[in-house]
Amino acid sequence: MIFSSRFAPSPTGYLHLGNARTALFAFLAARQSGGRFVLRLEDTDQARSPEELAAALLDDLRWLGLDWDEGPERGGPYGPYAQMERLPIYAEYYQRLLDSGAAYPCFCSSEELQAEREAQRQAGKAPRYSGRCRALPAQQAQERLAAGEAASLRFAVAQQGVLRVDDLVWGERSYALADLGDFIIRRSDGSPAFFFANALDDALMAINLVIRGEDHLTNTPRQILILQALGLPVPKYAHLPLLQGSDGQPLSKRNGAASLRDLRAQGFLPAALRNYLGQLGHHYPDSQWRDDERLVAEFSLSQIGRAPAHYDPTQLLFWQEQAVQHSDIATLVAWLRDLLAEWVPAEALSNFVAAVRNNIRLPADAVDWAKRCFAPLPLPDDVRAELSAIPATFWEAARSSYEEEPQDFRAWSKRLGERSGLKGRALFHPLRLALTGQAQGPELAQLLPLIPRAEVLRRLTPISS
Ligand code: GLU
């Protein structure tokens, strides 16, 4: 089946990992099946949706690599793609529901509704609208509207019957219509309610797959009722189990969930996030690194699990390391150029990045190696102590062999081995310690030609403890 799916964020904050995962799954499902991926801004909460946030959202999605086929800044046949620009469309469909008797104006004030809910609660009943205004004679309702009385619009839910909702993740669920209560589809200030605009737009934008968070699962029956009343197609739904923090609590700043923006600022690569998020609550055939082609080709809606997924920063770092190792040099150079400019000469940048790529995860690691190569090297006390135990003759031999073979580490170390009589770890360990200040790190053969000659000679000087 060809799935056209969408991501429909409300731009009330920066994109967080939960939403980014929803967007990725919707993107992958569309791409995998050859369908369209649509972006729609649900910006009807004007007080909380400033334009900067919408712009940041588009920017974050592009950075993550989720380019949409239709949507803001791109257009498409079913636009406009921001809900505030679609109000005239909603007006037309409200009218259809009024005309067919599927919706009615409700004049109840919020105080009245609250009192009603309170009474229901005290009587041990689930709160839902009593249907008071549904019983108003049409003539009376018309007069009150004509007199300018504020009214919301409610959807009239059948009082009997059962609605079956099939979810690709949760299977079939049944809802007794009598339990739903007549719900608001237009607020008394005229703004569209989520249930209505969201479901209508999906149908009008020819979306046949809705992937979204589990928190919307219980909205689905109401949305299906609206679509059925309008004679519009009902999409398939896949509700993703919530993404929780490492402590099992809802994801928040406190349990480590940064916004995509924060992670980007920390230097995470978009390919790392794609691989990490793609396996969060979705099972690929194995847990290897995947390039974009395989992320798409091996994605399957049937592999979305029901257990809550947990954000795990260690896993994210693992995928970041993989992303660095799988990126080409040009990508890595672009990623690090600005940060390294202070330390690494432009002409050495590519070679430096090639030398350290297997030893870095985040840009800070690359800066650390850049300083080790291009700035004076401070040695920790334990390293100093270890080096000072090595006889001065070793360092003399090291310097003289280096002067003879300054560019070729292999030739140099071979010569030094012959002169000092040392080999293996006894030879290479002190060299690595003296040259980098660390027992482990990038290949010395790649690093050595990068370290300025004067620095190399300084580092090959005997150390007094
Ligand atoms: N604007 C809604 C949200 O951000 C969309 C839900 C949906 O995808 O249907 O939660």
DSSP symbols for 154-169: EE---SS-EEEEEETT
Tell me how far the alpha carbon of residue 290 lies from the centroid of ligand 1, in angstroms: 28
Alpha helices (runs of H) in 205-259, residue ranges in sequence order: 220-230
Same domain, 236 and 254: no
What pLDDT, on a 0 to 100 scale, did the predictor assign at position 199? Answer: 98
Same domain, 154 and 100: yes
Q: Is residue 375 part of a domain?
A: no
**The last residue of a domain, from among 210, 240, 270:** 240
3-state secondary structure (DSSP) of residue 461: coil
Same domain, 307 and 354: no
Query: What is the rounded distance in angstroms from the CA atom of residue 38 to the CA atom of residue 386?
Result: 61
Pocket test for ligand 1, best of 16, 212, 214 (most atoms within 8 A of CB): 212
Q: Is the dihedral of CA 415, 418, 421, 426 positive or negative?
A: positive
What pLDDT, on a 0 to 100 scale, did the predictor assign at position 47? Answer: 79
Tell me how far the alpha carbon of residue 7 lies from the centroid of ligand 1, in angstroms: 8
129: phi then psi, degrees, rounded to nearest 5: -65, 135
**The last residue of a domain, from among 366, 390, 423:** 366
Tell me how far the alpha carbon of residue 195 lies from the centroid of ligand 1, in angstroms: 10
Same domain, 142 and 229: yes
Tell me how far the alpha carbon of residue 178 lies from the centroid of ligand 1, in angstroms: 25
3-state secondary structure (DSSP) of residue 355: helix
Q: Which two structure tokens, joined as six digits, stand for 202?
A: 């999906």
Query: What mean pLDDT is reported for the chain?
Result: 95
Write down the residue that tokens 């219980």 correspond to. Answer: 218
Q: Is residue 372 part of a domain?
A: no
Same domain, 151 and 216: yes
Q: Is residue 77 part of a domain?
A: no
Residue 51 pLDDT class (50, 70, 90 cuts): confident
Same domain, 312 and 333: no
pTM metric for this prediction? 0.92
- Whether pLDDT at 465 is above 60: no
- Split into its structural domains, the chain has a count of 4
Q: Is residue 376 part of a domain?
A: no
Same domain, 53 and 1: yes
Residue 106: its H or E element: strand 103-106
Write down the residue that tokens 């109000």 correspond to. Answer: 87
User: Helix crossing, 51-64 with 17-33: angle to 10°?
Assistant: 50
- Domain range enclosing 426: 381-459
Tell me how far the alpha carbon of residue 23 lies from the centroid of ligand 1, in angstroms: 11
Same domain, 105 and 200: yes
Pocket test for ligand 1, best of 191, 194, 219 (most atoms within 8 A of CB): 194
The atom number, within ligand 1, closest to the CA of 211 reads: 8
Residue nearest to atom 5 of ligand 1 (CA): 8
Residue nearest to atom 2 of ligand 1 (CA): 9
Predicted confidence (pLDDT) per residue in 382-413, tens digit: 999 999 999 999 999 999 999 999 889 999 99
**The last residue of a domain, from among 179, 209, 240:** 240
Spacing of C-alpha 268 from chain mean position: 11
The atom number, within ligand 1, closest to the CA of 219 reads: 9
Same domain, 106 and 251: no
Predicted confidence (pLDDT) per residue in 304-345, tens digit: 999 999 999 999 999 999 999 999 999 999 999 999 999 999
What pLDDT, on a 0 to 100 scale, did the predictor assign at position 462? Answer: 84
Q: Is the dihedral of CA 329, 17, 317, 293 positive or negative?
A: negative
Same domain, 451 and 315: no
The atom number, within ligand 1, closest to the CA of 198 reads: 9
